[in-house]
Amino acid sequence: MRQFALSIVLIFAAGWASAFEAEEVARFGPEDSTRELRIISTADIAFFKPMISSFLASAPDTSIEYTVVSSSELQKAIVDEGKAFDVAVSSAMDLQTKLANDGLAQRFTSEATGALPDWAVWNDMLFAFTQEPAAIVVSKSGFGDLPLPNSRNDLINLLRQHPDLFRGRVGTYDVRESGLGYLFATQDTRASEIYWRLTEVMGALDAQLFCCSSNMIDAVKSGDLLVAYNVLGSYAINREDRDEFAIILPSDFTTVMLRTALIPSNAPSSELAALFLNHLMTRSHGQDAQVLTNPALDLSQNEAALNRIRIGPGLLVFLDQLKKRAFLSEWESAILQK
């Protein structure tokens, strides 16, 4: 712990040195460390900090450079620019799968990865360390006496019964902009036709479209929205103001995103990366795991309804240009209703 020190947080100016756009770069650990682990990640620093701290505590003389990017910028940095990172962490399972499938990830096995459940590892390249559900977030104050919807069907009925109340006050991801939104939407369509019905109902109510979960939650909090659909539950539960809104895991099916890590094939210090992955896996899986997501979000309550997105080449299907174009045009006609 004594070497651990949160040092500088740099806000990068656009266009600095690299073409990909980093949102934030932070350094952890002693200044004069002999080895450095470079992590590129889509997760906020605050979300990942506990994991970094515990790793640095066990690995002396090590520092970590943590770069926060969007999932598409992560692709750009690794695929197009071949930037050297030791670990890539992302919530965009489809893009991570494509990285691994295209041979841009190293194979890695250890005792820790061997103990992982089947759904958490793919081809010894991709390792899942969180389970984060897509939730319905509703404003408690805005709902008043209305019953909270437990499933998509409930939500559809509610929206249909009170069109005037909800008009312009329902929100969801703009799947054209957000990779995670696209992933949730496509997986929803795989699970049930009800997604399309719900999207049409929301479209009829002039749904607002958002780039990210946090904006949606903010909008619910401010009263702009009464209902936000497919919000990343882990973000909602980790907010300090979480009592102001209700987080609902739909009982018909709950799509669960797995945050994954991989070691890029051009990682400069892949041994250190292996150590970090072992730490990440041991800490987030197993009996006395200290999961990154809030334990209040208990997934085991409704195990049968959990729809864990399976890591694998199936995810490549919706990345197919023809497929994506077809899906987006269908989605647009449902939500925009022009």
Partner 1 sequence: MSTPVAHGSIRRRLMLSLLASAAVLAIVVYFVVQSVARQVAQESQDNVLTASALSILDSARLSGGEISIDLPYSALSMLDSISDERVFYAVRLEDEFLSGYADLPEAKEDGTATPAYLSAIFLGEEVRVATVRRRMSTDTGRSFLKVSVAQTLSGQKRALARISRTSMGIGAGFFLVSVLLAALISRSTIRPLDRLTSSVSRRGPKDLRPVAAPVPSEMVPLVTSLNSFMRRLQQSLMRSEDFIAEAAHRVRTPLAVVRTKAEVAQRKSDDPETRKALREMIRAIDDSSRTAGQLLDHAMVTFRLDHLEREEISLHRLVQDTVERMRPTSELKDVTLEATEVETAVIKGDPILVQNALHNLLDNAVKYSPSGAEIHVALTITDDGAKICVNDTGPGFQTDELDKLPQRFARGANTQDIVGSGLGLTIAKEVIEAHGGTLHITNNPGGGACVSLLFPSS
Binding-site ranges for partner 1 (CB under 8 A): 100-103, 121-124, 190, 310, 312-314, 316-318, 320-323, 326
Minimum Å distance from CB 106 to partner 1?
A: 11
* Rg for the chain, CA atoms, rounded: 20
Minimum Å distance from CB 90 to partner 1?
A: 18
- Taking the least distance from each CB to partner 1, the nearer of 102 and 241 is 102
> Cα 139 to the chain's mean position, in Å?
22
For helices 194-204 and 179-191, angle between their N-to-C axes, nearest 10 degrees: 130
Minimum Å distance from CB 182 to partner 1?
A: 14
Please state whether 239 falls in left (phi above 0), alpha (psi between -120 and 50) or beta.
beta
- Taking the least distance from each CB to partner 1, the nearer of 207 and 315 is 315
Minimum Å distance from CB 109 to partner 1?
A: 12
Q: 204 exposed, middle or buried (CB, 10 Å; 0-12, 13-18, 19+)? A: middle
Helix or strand run (H / E) with residue 5: none
The token duo for 93 is 């399972």
- Taking the least distance from each CB to partner 1, the nearer of 209 and 316 is 316
Minimum Å distance from CB 326 to partner 1?
A: 6
- Taking the least distance from each CB to partner 1, the nearer of 58 and 329 is 329
Neighbouring C-beta atoms of residue 193, cutoff 10 Å: 9
- Taking the least distance from each CB to partner 1, the nearer of 139 and 186 is 186
Could you tell me if 71 and 95 are in contact, meaning their C-beta atoms sit under 8 angstroms apart?
yes
Q: In whole angstroms, what is the distance from residue 183 CA to residue 124 CA?
A: 22
Minimum Å distance from CB 107 to partner 1?
A: 9
CB crowding 72-105: b at 16 or more within 10 Å, else e: bbbbbbbeeeebebbbbbbbbbbbbbbbbbeebb
- Taking the least distance from each CB to partner 1, the nearer of 12 and 318 is 318
Amino acid at 225: L
Minimum Å distance from CB 50 to partner 1?
A: 30
DSSP string, 294-330: -TTS-GGGGGGGEEEPPPSTHHHHTTSHHHHHHHHHH
Minimum Å distance from CB 121 to partner 1?
A: 8
- Taking the least distance from each CB to partner 1, the nearer of 10 and 316 is 316
> Cα 134 to the chain's mean position, in Å?
9
- Taking the least distance from each CB to partner 1, the nearer of 242 and 324 is 324
